[in-house]
Structure 1
């Protein structure tokens, strides 16, 4: 067999394996997100780590609003 053909076949096989692994990871990620959405729709409490992240995001938004109000009022920060 010709070396170029062997290299091409091996590369194609490797690409197929990588694509299969990525597809499996993608399906797992989608399943995780579906479970999260189901939990939210049932009204289950969010995990502690997401509640903390939500509080941080809320504090960040409040700080941005405070800064925008100060700019609107002409106060130099």
Structure 2
């Protein structure tokens, strides 16, 4: 009977130790992933701002390109209908 109590106690203590080590590792892994996300979000935002300052906004460029395409379509439609521009 005494040997069983010692064995069960040892198993319980071992299980608790393994669970604590696993929990500590999990918390460390979560902290690492949080740091990676922080590092990724800040530089990308800064890089986007720097790019827009040097080259202009891609949204603005897309709007200009769409306006240019609309103008070309209008001219082609006028040519197709026989209107002289």
Give the TM-score normalised by structure 2: 0.49
The 4+ residue runs of structure 1 with deviation greater than 3 A are none
Q: Once the two structures are superposed, what CA deviation does each residue of 1:9-34 show, in whole Å capped at 9, x if it has no partner?
A: 00000000000000000000000000
The reply to whether residue 33 of structure 1 matches residue 23 of structure 2 is: no
Describe how 1:1-77 pairs up with structure 2 within 5 A.
2-43=2-43
Task: Give me the whole-angstrom Cα distance separating, in 2, the residues matched to 1:42 and 1:24.
Answer: 28
Task: Give me the whole-angstrom Cα distance separating, in 1, the residues matched to 2:36 and 2:42.
Answer: 10
User: Higher Cα Rg: structure 1 or 2?
Assistant: 2
Give the TM-score normalised by structure 1: 0.54
Corresponding residue pairs, total: 44
Higher helix share: 2
